[in-house]
Amino acid sequence: MKTYLIPVSIVIGCLILGGSFVLINSNKSYSIEQQQRLDNERGLLKLKMDECESLSVGVRQKWNNVMGVTYSELWEECVVTYTDTETGEVGTSPLSRMQTTEN
């Protein structure tokens, strides 16, 4: 019985080490995929924010009470921050809902 104890211990040890190695590599691959996904999302968010910033100039020219234009993840579009000309309160509105006034 003692003759099998060392080989069985070696096999069990190898299985534990091999299983650990597989789990570590699996976790590393998952972490890399998650990081790449986050990087892509950040890149898309930056593009949307830059687009809103470029629209800011035209919006400020059209309405004199605009404080800024930023991207809102909540509304998933550009949002205008403005001062209400009647009350003086600061408000926000999605750019797509802003009404154009013709002079």
Question: Looking at the domain assignment, is residue 13 inside a domain?
Answer: yes
* Phi, psi angles (nearest 5°) of residue 87: -100, -20
Q: Given this model, what pLDDT does residue 102 score?
A: 46
Give the residue numbers spanning the domain of 29: 2-97
User: Residue 82 pairs with which residues in a beta bridge?
Assistant: 66, 91
Q: Are 70 and 59 in contact (CB under 8 A)?
A: no
Separation between Cα atoms, residue 78 and residue 56, nearest integer Å: 9
Q: Given this model, what pLDDT does residue 100 score?
A: 55
Question: Looking at the domain assignment, is residue 42 inside a domain?
Answer: yes
Task: Give the residue-averaged pLDDT of 81-98.
Answer: 88
Separation between Cα atoms, residue 73 and residue 66, nearest integer Å: 20
Position 29 pLDDT exceeds 80? yes
Domain count, the chain: 1
How many residues make up the chain in this entry? 103
Statement: the pTM of the whole predicted model exceeds 0.75: no
Q: Given this model, what pLDDT does residue 6 score?
A: 87
Question: Looking at the domain assignment, is residue 103 inside a domain?
Answer: no
Position 27 pLDDT exceeds 80? yes
User: Residue 77 pairs with which residues in a beta bridge?
Assistant: 72
